[in-house]
């Protein structure tokens, strides 16, 4: 079972859209996939039309008093399940802090699922916190969407430093340009330069497209309602790179 995390220190960069579409494409490829929505905003949960509620909340899940397995819901797509978010996930840092070895907790909770799933996507809230440390400790590959601006590139460097500074397990990092506005010269320039200059940046990139925003209206991965669109093709190219990298 491979664990992939869509994560960035910055918010609003396309993490959830990437997690939802990549998870869908992975399941369409025949993998058994779980997407865990760790963000209390519950955007991924909303996109899959699942109610954002976990019995006992985040505390029950993290402390292990409720089996993770029982909280999982099937999505409308074969091979793709969802661990829904819950509003109490806003306190996951505090809950984790109350446990022993908090940074290893998430990895330990996910371990029993290894016979049931081939791939788990962790859709994480932004920021640097105890939860993000736990996510990085659990993940094999971190997928970091970055908007191609100078400040975002700086954030990527911060993320790289953060990962390098972790004790013990360190996940591999794969950044990709996201929400590229083709009308902006700087966006285009950085989106072309970055993959050429850095091995940890994918060649595939996700443009800023209204179809991607429409996911929130259609409440489904973009591939399902616009399979031939530029948006769907972009995610397919990204999935091909992610799959090759995840092994």
Partner 1 sequence: MSADLHNFAYMNGEQQVPRVVREALAPRYSVVPARRTRTRHRTWLDTFDWRLHRAGLTLESVTGRGPAELVLSGMAGERITAAANGARWPALAERLPSGPLRDRLKGLTDVRALLPAAKAASTVSEFRLCNDDGKTVAWLTVEHLHAAAPADADLPPRLSVTAVRGYQGQADRIARCLTAQPGVLPDGLPALDAVLATGGLAPGEYTNKVDVELSATMPGRLALAAVLRRLLDTLEANVWGTVRDIDTEFLHDLRVSVRRTRTALKLGAGLLPAGLATQYRPAFKWLGDLTTPTRDLDVHLLTFGAGAAELTSASPDDLDPFHRYLTRRRAVEQARLARALRSPRFRALVVAWRDALDGLTAPQQGPDAAQAAAKIIGRAHRRVLRQGSAITAESPPEDLHDLRKRCKELRYSLEFFASLYDPPTHRRAVRELKGLQDCLGTYQDCQVQQEEIRVIATEMLAAGGVPATALLAMGDLASHVGQRERRARGEFASRFAAFASRPAQERFRALVAGARP
Residue 148: exposure state from Cβ atoms within 10 A (0-12, 13-18, ≥19): buried
CA–CA gap between residue 118 and residue 24 (Å, rounded): 13
Burial 154-163 (b: 16+ CB within 10 A, else e): ebbeebeebb
Site for partner 1 contains 55 (CB under 8 A)? no
Q: Give the CA angle between residues 130, 247, 170 to the nearest 5°.
A: 25
Using the contact rule CB under 8 A, the part of the chain among 48-56, 57-65, 104-112, 117-125 near partner 1 is 48-56
Q: How far apart are the first and last CA of the chain?
A: 10
CA–CA gap between residue 24 and residue 81 (Å, rounded): 10
Q: Which of 67, 76, 197, 213 binds partner 1 (CB under 8 A)?
A: 76
Question: Nearest distance from residue 76's CB to partner 1, in Å?
Answer: 4
Using the contact rule CB under 8 A, the part of the chain among 10-18, 66-74, 204-212, 222-230 near partner 1 is 66-74
Using DSSP's 3-state secondary structure scheme, residue 193 falls into helix
Taking the least distance from each CB to partner 1, the nearer of 73 and 188 is 73
Site for partner 1 contains 66 (CB under 8 A)? no
Q: Which of 74, 112, 127, 227 binds partner 1 (CB under 8 A)?
A: 74
Contact 138, 3 (CB under 8 A): yes
Can you state the percent helix, strand and coil of the chain, rounding each to 5?
50, 15, 35
Site for partner 1 contains 72 (CB under 8 A)? yes
Residue with tokens 């669109």: 229
Site for partner 1 contains 78 (CB under 8 A)? yes
Residues near partner 1 (CB under 8 A), total: 12
CA–CA gap between residue 24 and residue 28 (Å, rounded): 6
Question: Nearest distance from residue 173's CB to partner 1, in Å?
Answer: 32
- Contacts (CB under 8 A) with partner 1, residues 187-216: none
Q: Which of 63, 90, 108, 219 binds partner 1 (CB under 8 A)?
A: 219
Contact 67, 54 (CB under 8 A): no
Residue 35: exposure state from Cβ atoms within 10 A (0-12, 13-18, ≥19): buried
Question: Nearest distance from residue 166's CB to partner 1, in Å?
Answer: 33
Question: Nearest distance from residue 222's CB to partner 1, in Å?
Answer: 17
Contacts with partner 1, 4-43, as mask; x by CB under 8 A: ----------------------------------------
Q: Which of 81, 123, 133, 200 binds partner 1 (CB under 8 A)?
A: 81
- Contacts with partner 1 by CB under 8 A lie at 48-51, 71-74, 76, 78, 81, 219
């Amino acid at each position: 079972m491979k664990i992939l995390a869509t994560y960035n220190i910055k918010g609003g960069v396309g993490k959830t859209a990437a997690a939802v579409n990549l998870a869908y494409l992975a399941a369409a490829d025949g993998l058994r996939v779980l997407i865990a929505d760790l963000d209390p905003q519950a955007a991924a949960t909303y996109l899959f039309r699942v109610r954002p509620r976990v019995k006992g909340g985040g505390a029950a899940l993290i402390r292990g008093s409720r089996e993770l397995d029982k909280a999982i819901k099937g999505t409308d797509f074969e091979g793709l399940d969802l661990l829904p978010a819950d509003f109490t996930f806003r306190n996951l840092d505090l809950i984790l802090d109350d446990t022993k070895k908090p940074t290893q907790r998430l990895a330990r909770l996910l371990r029993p699922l290894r016979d049931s799933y081939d791939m788990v996507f962790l859709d994480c809230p932004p920021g640097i916190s105890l939860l993000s440390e736990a996510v990085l400790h659990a993940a094999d590959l971190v997928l970091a969407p970055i908007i191609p601006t100078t400040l975002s590139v700086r954030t990527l460097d911060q993320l790289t430093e953060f990962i390098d500074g972790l004790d013990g397990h360190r996940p591999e990092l794969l950044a990709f340009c996201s929400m590229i506005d083709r009308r902006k010269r700087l966006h285009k320039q950085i989106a072309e330069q970055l993959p050429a200059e850095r091995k940890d940046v994918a060649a595939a990139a996700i443009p800023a497209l209204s179809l991607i925003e429409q996911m929130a209206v259609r409440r489904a991965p973009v591939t399902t309602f616009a399979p031939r669109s530029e948006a769907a093709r972009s995610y397919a190219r990204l999935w091909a790179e992610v799959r090759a990298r995840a092994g």
